[in-house]
Amino acid sequence: MNFHLTIRRGDRARVRAAWRGLIFLLGVLCLSATATSAYADISLFVEEPYGFFGSVNPTGHSAIYLNRVCAESPTKLRWCLPEETGVVISRYSKIRQFDWIAIPLMPYLYAVERAEDVPDRAEKTFVDKLREQYAEGHLTSLFSSIEGYDAKNVWPQLLGVAYIRKIYSFEVHTTWQQDALLISEYNDSANRSHFNLFTNNCADFSRRVLNFYYPHAVRRSITADIGITTPKQIAKTLSRYAHRQDGLDMNEIIIPQIPGDIPRSHSTRGVVESLLKTKKYALPIAVLNPYVLAGIAVTYLTNGRFELAKNAPVIPVAEQEELLSGVKPETHVAFVGASEQ
């Protein structure tokens, strides 16, 4: 007796997806059994504000660095191959309507692929050239149709961030299994922007990724930030969470802004802290109603204080990649077969 099984096109897609998921899970289990000494890390990057907008909104920017996850493309994640040192992902506004973008570590920090190619001084025209060269070679999928728009608005957000900002890194350990779940989750989900400065900003993205790894680890503050998620608040709650958890050591470092003719970035602040310490806000409030300013001061002193990376070392460029990635590039463990997922 002969049987003939007909599978519809939609069912075929689901079958293929199920097989890919099964192969992906088996790969994770095999890696767990054969590489028990390997580990992974997740780092919160808190980046200082810069420029005019940074003076108006001094909360800064946040991003997530994963040292064992890499970018198949700016919008697709995969396991790192040997000699790759991870990816930085974050939420941005008005970049081809994507919710998040993934950029390799060194290009994100310096718009180059090797530490030895980072200039000692950041001259604006040369930095712009570095960004254009890297974008033309790797980020053509993000090009817009408006002439000059990318060079002014897109590449400075994604490439050579350490030329325009000081960055504070807060790192905690993760597992390969957690990374596997993140890769699967973000590759399978729609990457469409719903950016909102007040309710769905870059810090909200970082908060959700960190809580994906460690549920309820970080949160926004109703009092210190009037309910708006800020990078400094995420760092504060992550630090407190790590100190309460046995075995979850936190490593903090500072990635300095490269010297040059580009203006220096500003101090990162929370919302209430900004109202209290930023003159353009504090002086008018003090004139109109000093009692309101006094209330803001009390709120900040009781709920808003946190010093970013108080005792953290400043790491020179030559050591950053190795320190952040956890091991020397040539000793990285490859996840064979997982890059197809």
What tens digit of pLDDT does each residue of 75-101 get?
A: 999 999 988 999 999 999 889 999 999
Residues 185, 295: one domain? no
Residues 258, 279: one domain? no
Residues 76, 171: one domain? yes
Q: Are 64 and 43 in contact (CB under 8 A)?
A: yes
Residues 322, 302: one domain? no
Is 3 inside a domain boundary? Answer: no
- CA 112 to chain CA centroid, Å, is 18
Contacting residues for 66 by C-beta, under 8 A, at least 6 apart: 40, 41, 42, 43, 86, 87, 89, 174, 179, 182
Tell me the pLDDT of the chain averaged across its residues: 86
What CA–CA distance (Å, rounded) separates 84 from 67? 9
Please give the C-alpha separations between residue 98 and each of 103, 158, 296, in angstroms, as whole numbers.
Answer: 14, 13, 36
- Provide, rounded to the nearest whole percent, the portion of the chain with pLDDT above 70: 84
Is 246 inside a domain boundary? Answer: yes
Is 2 inside a domain boundary? Answer: no
Is 73 inside a domain boundary? Answer: yes
Closest CA to 46 of 237, 211, 281: 237
Residues 63, 135: one domain? yes
Q: What share of the chain is helix, strand, coil (3-state, %, to 5)?
A: 45, 15, 40
Closest CA to 277 of 299, 309, 252, 251: 299
What six digits make up the tokens of 294? 């006094």
Q: Are 163 and 262 in contact (CB under 8 A)?
A: yes
Residues 295, 240: one domain? no
The pLDDT of residue 259 = 97
Section 35-46 average pLDDT: 76
Residues 292, 225: one domain? no
Residue 1 has pLDDT above 80, yes or no: no
Is 206 inside a domain boundary? Answer: yes
What CA–CA distance (Å, rounded) separates 35 from 99? 33
Residues 85, 212: one domain? yes
Is 138 inside a domain boundary? Answer: yes
Is 77 inside a domain boundary? Answer: yes
Residue 279 has pLDDT above 90, yes or no: no
Residues 287, 167: one domain? no
Residues 335, 197: one domain? yes
* Domain that residue 121 falls in: 9-266+315-340
Residues 172, 200: one domain? yes
Is 35 inside a domain boundary? Answer: yes
Confidence of residue 20 (pLDDT cuts 50, 70, 90): low
Residues 246, 283: one domain? no
User: How many domains does one find in the chain?
Assistant: 2
